[in-house]
Structures are given as C-alpha cells and as structure tokens.
Amino acid sequence: MSLPSLPPALRAPLLGFAALGLVGVLATGPVSGAIEAQQQITVSRERLARAQAAALRPPQRAPLVAADADALLAAFRAHLETLAAERAAVIDAAKVEPDPAEPTLPRLRADLRGTAEGLYGLLHALESEAPLMAVEEADLGVARAADAETGRPTVMRARLTLRGLVTPQPEAGGRGR
C-alpha cells in the first residue's frame, strides 16, 4: 500500500507547519528556562534590596538590664554619671523603686540639676543612646534664676522616672526536680 501523494501546492505549507512546530517544541524549553531565570533574578533583587535596607537601619539599642535591683541601680547611676560628666549637669540622687505590678520593670528615679542645655542633652541621650531608656515622667523646674550681674546661668532641676529591666533569675535546682 502506498500513501497518496500530496499535490506540490500543499506539500510546502505542510512542511513549513511541521518545521514551525519542531522549532516551537525545541524553543519552548530554553524560553521557559529563561522566563524562570528572570523570575528568580527578580526575587533575588528584591531580597537584596531588603537586606541592604536592613543593613542601613541603625542597630536596635538594648535597654538598661541587670540581674537584680542593686545591680540595676549601680548601672543606672554609672550611666547617669557618664552622661552628666559630658554635660553641665549634677546628680543629686538616684534610686530604684520596685513596681509590684511589673516586678521585672522597676522604676528608676533621679534628681538632677544643671543648665537647660545640659539637662536637655542628658534627657535626649537617655532616650536615644545605648542603653536605651524610656523617660516615663519628667518634672522640670527652676532651681536658681539667672543672675545678670554675676553672669550665672539659670540652674534647672529635673526629677525623672524611668524604667529598667531586671532579668528573672532561674529557680535554683528547678530542672532536676
């Protein structure tokens, strides 16, 4: 049995369609691979942009933390003394007050004196420099008015209430019981 012969007018278009189909089948693999690679490149660029943005953000500052109230007060006082020494400020008192509602977040109280600029700089440093502290209350007033004759500046007073963090202590021998 023999296959009927196709007229020459139909043979050329059918061979063209067959060749086009073959090219389409052969090109589908690389084209779909290229599309998938482009999608992976786009996802990678987005990840890189997020990583670069995260790297440019300033690091999170840790709060003032200690193992107990005495250590917290010592760390608070040392931090205040460092900040006061850099500015025109004097520490009159610093103490820690436990908060029964928040046992791990005791109140830290400080009484300070200094120039308006010195106290402002100290407050700003407390809230923006490590260790990070949030001022809960601030009572500001004039301790001594300026004296134009002697050239003395106004001395301000500040009573601050801040929060520290006491890390909970693990119970002794709690694991083996």
Closest by Cα among 113, 124, 117, 123 to 155 = 113
Backbone φ, ψ for residue 163 (5° rounding)? -120, 140
List, for the chain, all residue ranges whose pLDDT scores fall below the cut of 50. Answer: 1-3, 175-177
Q: Give the three-class secondary structure for 90.
A: strand
Element (H, E) at 96: strand 89-97
Query: Is residue 102 within 8 Å of residue 161, measured between CB atoms?
Result: no
Angle subtended at Cα 149 by Cα 148 and Cα 154, rounded to the nearest 5 degrees: 35
pTM metric for this prediction = 0.57
Question: What is the pLDDT at residue 105?
Answer: 82
Question: What is the pLDDT at residue 176?
Answer: 45
Question: What is the pLDDT at residue 3?
Answer: 45
Question: What is the pLDDT at residue 104?
Answer: 81
Closest by Cα among 102, 169, 168, 113 to 136 = 102
Query: Is residue 142 within 8 Å of residue 155, measured between CB atoms?
Result: yes
Question: What is the pLDDT at residue 14?
Answer: 75
Question: 65-66 and 89-97: which strand pairing?
Answer: unpaired
Closest by Cα among 87, 153, 93 to 124 = 87
pLDDT in tens, 35-46: 888 899 999 999
Amino acid making up residue 30: P
d(CA 91, CA 94): 7
Question: What is the pLDDT at residue 66?
Answer: 82
